[in-house]
Structure 1
Amino acid sequence: MYISFGKRVIAWLVDTLVIQFIMQVFLIGFLNLRSLYYDFILSQSDRVDIEELGGIFESGVYFKFAAVLGLLLSWLYYASMESSKLQATVGKLAIGSIVVGEMNERITFGKASGRFFGKIISSLILYIGYLMVIFTEQRQGLHDKMAKAYVVDKDQLAAYLTTTEKNMDEVTKIA
């Protein structure tokens, strides 16, 4: 029922492509804004000092903006998708998995956010937090354990819940 490390890598690759596409849209907009700013400055004066064209649009600021934007978009993408009715990102949907809590319930935005930021910790310790998926019984990485979440096969979970519900109905009929 729990998703393997290999399938999770495939989901991560798909999600990375989705996030990169979204980032490119925002960054192209930023570059267009920068171009409009330069055009405005150049139209205001006959003689413009090249250093005046710097400011908030310097390349160093651009890369900082891109890094902050990447973190913000990634967080919102993962947390909002995993806490939505879909319970999965595009990558997880592609492999047929969902993210659930301890009682197989949909996780909250807060828990999904904790899971996302836990991934940073999983990365900082030489990716050991991710490799834990290979060695733990329920295929949990460190970020999953921190958020008390599980990545499970959607169809297998549905079958398990249906079987459990039938068994509970039979027990209540006997009692």
Structure 2
Amino acid sequence: MYISFGKRVIAWLIDALVIQFILQVFLIGFLNFRSLYYDFLLSQRDWMDVNLEEIGGIFESGFFFKFAAVLGILLSWLYYAAMESSRLQATVGKLAIGGVVVGEMNERISFGKASGRFFGKIVSSLILYIGYLMVAFTEHRQGLHDKMAKAYVVDKEHLAAYRTTMQKQMEDVVKVG
């Protein structure tokens, strides 16, 4: 029922590619904006008192790399939290391996819980990635970030079968009662 460590690695690789693609689109847009902005300033400097060195400070490479890092974290957080708390209950990578993220009662997790799970990944990373390696050795295939958020990554088909069985059992209880 729980997704294995190997499959989760494959899902992570797919998600990393998706996030990189989205990040590159944003950064290319930013660079194009920067280029258009400089072109505009250069075209206006004859009649405007423009100090390109002062204005250009926000577009220096140091700023660009900080901007890219912050944007990468924000995009990653929104991607993981929004996808895992959506009706899909999974990111593109998890969908590709047939997995979904659920809470303790096999319910869809909230955006807040998905956010906690995402930021818990920072803790999983800081301790030499041991928080991720836990997936290979724990009973329910949970990483530290999963345990912190009280979440599980489970096989979508097994979950559907489990929910159908539980629904039938509930119907039987109602009929008897």
TM-score category (smaller protein): over 0.9
Q: TM-score, normalised by structure 2?
A: 0.92
Residue 88 (structure 1) aligned with residue 100 (structure 2): no
Structure 1 unaligned blocks of 5 or more:
none
Task: Tell me the equivalent position of 2:56.
Answer: 54
Specify every segment of 5 or more residues in structure 2 that has no aligned partner in the other structure, as ranges.
Answer: none
| CA drift at 1:37 | 1.6
Other-structure match for 1:139? 141
Shift of residue 162 of structure 1?
1.7
Q: Is the 8 A contact 2:41 2:52 kept in 1?
A: no
Q: Please name the residue that 2:37 is paired with.
A: 37
The one-letter code sitting in structure 1 at the alignment partner of 2:61 is: S
DSSP 3-state at the match of 1:26: helix
* C-alpha distance 172-59 of structure 1, shift in aligned 2 (>3 A): same
What's the C-alpha RMSD, in Å, of the aligned pairs? 1.7
Identity %: 82
1:96–1:155 contact (8 Å) kept in structure 2: yes
**TM-score calculated relative to the size of structure 1:** 0.93
Q: What count of residue pairs does the alignment treat as equivalent?
A: 174
Shift of 1:152: 0.2
Deviation of 1:54 (Å) = 3.0
Give the structure 1 partner of residue 131 of structure 2: 129
Is the CA contact 1:98–1:153 (under 8 Å) kept in the aligned structure 2?
yes
Letter in 1 for 2:169: N
Which SS does the other structure have where 1:152 is aligned? strand
- Equivalent residue of 1:103, what SS? coil
